[in-house]
Amino acid sequence: MKALLAQHLTSGRTAKDWPAPDLPEYAFIGRSNVGKSSLINMLCHINKLARVSNTPGRTRNVEHFRVEGTLTSKRPWMLADLPGYGFAKASKTERAVWEKMIQTYLKERESLQNVFLLADSRLEPQQNDLDMVQWLGENGIPFSIVFTKSDKLKGPKVDSNVAQFKRKLKETWEELPPIFITSSETSKGRDELLTYIENVNTQWKG
């Protein structure tokens, strides 16, 4: 499997700390412990690009990475790793800071092309994931849903949980966003995600 050339650029909480918005950018967000760092490492095929921790809530800033190309393209793009939500052990003050930072980034980052919202495929639809879907929709922010950890369950149970999530979305959405099923252990979904990014990159006018 081909590794992508990638490097960590910056870690910051405000726009002045973030890289210039001169490349197409993709944000990764999800509940704490959803496997975000593992998915990023799998996507780039670099073991320690994003720091993986057994402690939820380790990501505190917006972490920016530059990635050189996809499967068949050498066009560079930016990856943004956002703090996880639903982390109960953080103080109210800290959670409020994260929430403001995340909302500012998602609303104002002009190079943002797509938000990959990660959901644990082992679980039934979680309310904070559904709330995030609703917030992204209300703010007109393009997003996709990425189900993680699909290797942890047998296929039919994964399919059942994904179908249940879709049913919940259809209560308020006429058209569903793109949906991907992934595993950081087996690299399931890697090609599909990178192909999606590659296709969006071709439309970048920056």
19-52, pLDDT tens digit by residue? 999 999 999 999 988 999 999 999 999 888 887 5
Residue 93 clears pLDDT 80, i.e. is over it: no
At a CB cut-off of 8 Å and minimum separation 6, what does 167 contact? none
Q: What per-residue confidence (pLDDT) applies to 59? A: 61
Q: What per-residue confidence (pLDDT) applies to 32? A: 84
Q: What per-residue confidence (pLDDT) applies to 170? A: 95
Q: What per-residue confidence (pLDDT) applies to 124? A: 92
For the whole model, what pTM was predicted?
0.93
* Domains with residue ranges and CATH for the chain: 5-201 (3.40.50.300)
- Over residues 66-76, mean pLDDT: 94
Place of tokens 């959901």: 119
% residues pLDDT > 70 (the chain): 93
148-194, pLDDT tens digit by residue? 999 998 879 999 999 999 999 999 999 999 999 999 999 999 999 99
Choice between 64 and 88, residue whose per-residue pLDDT is larger: 64
C-alpha to C-alpha distances, 185 to 31, 33, 83, 180, nearest whole angstrom: 19, 15, 22, 15
Q: Which of 34, 51, 41, 31 is nearest to 98 (CA)?
A: 31
